[in-house]
Amino acid sequence: MAIRRILYADDPRLRQKAKPVKRFGPELKALADDMLETMRAANGLGLAAPQIGILQQLFVAHLPKDEADPQSGKDFVLVNPQIVQASPERVEGVEGCLSIPTWYGRVARAEWVVVKAQNVHGKPVRIKAHGLLARVFQHEIDHLNGVLFVDHIRRPEDVWQELPKEASEKQPAAQVAAAVEQLA
């Protein structure tokens, strides 16, 4: 397993549509394992393949273990995911993105979604996700379509920056700020 480099918001690859995965096998499994490791190392809840420069329709997700949420504590690897049903009611929540470090925004999402996908071995799966997991799935599926969370923001007060106490070289804040301003 290896940690891959995560692309930042100004990278054009984040704006492209990912292609369906057609080949299932050890290479795809290795890619999914790398994505899980990269997501964990970055403390993310999800990571889509385009975020590491792979324009293929897959993402990984993991919610930290929370006794109150049976969806938590599990690794999800969803290949060729499609939202087939979504709740009419939308809920606002705060989102960040590993590709837009230090930036947060308030985004309205469906409260639950049913996602049809394949697992890493190509077996069809159908998952109903609600609450935070539904939010993560919608955010990651957006990535597969070249959409970033900032695209959903309509009011300037719904997006803000929280700088870490120690600015790290991994988070080129000024560059990202410029990119987000262009996007918003």
Sheet holding 103-110, edge to edge: 90-95, 103-110, 159-161
- Find the binding residues for Zn ion in span 31-90 (CB under 5 A): none
Measured from the CB atom, is 11 or 24 closer to Zn ion? 11
Distance CA(119)–CA(64), nearest Å, equals 21
C-alpha distances out from residue 102 to 21, 59, 166, Å: 31, 22, 12
Minimum distance from CB of 48 to Zn ion (Å)?
7
Q: Which stretch binds Zn ion (CB under 5 A): 27-35, 97-105, 112-120, 121-129?
A: 97-105
Distance CA(54)–CA(57), nearest Å, equals 9
Measured from the CB atom, is 31 or 45 closer to Zn ion? 45
Minimum distance from CB of 98 to Zn ion (Å)?
6
Minimum distance from CB of 148 to Zn ion (Å)?
7
Minimum distance from CB of 129 to Zn ion (Å)?
16
Going through 99-173 in order, the beta strands assigned E by DSSP cover 103-110, 112-118, 124-130, 159-161
Distance CA(8)–CA(127), nearest Å, equals 29
Residue 160, strand partner residues: 104
Size of interface with Zn ion, in residues (CB under 5 A)? 1
> Closest residue (Cβ) to Zn ion?
97
**Catalytic member of 89, 140, 157, 162:** 140
Measured from the CB atom, is 21 or 97 closer to Zn ion? 97
- Find the binding residues for Zn ion in span 117-146 (CB under 5 A): none
Of the residues 9, 36, 97, 110, which one makes contact with Zn ion according to CB under 5 A: 97
Please classify residue 111 by burial: count the beta carbons closer than 10 Å to its beta carbon, then call 0-12 exposed, 13-18 middle and 19+ buried: middle
Amino acid at residue number 25: G
Residues marked as catalytic? 140
List interacting residues with Zn ion (CB under 5 A).
Answer: 97
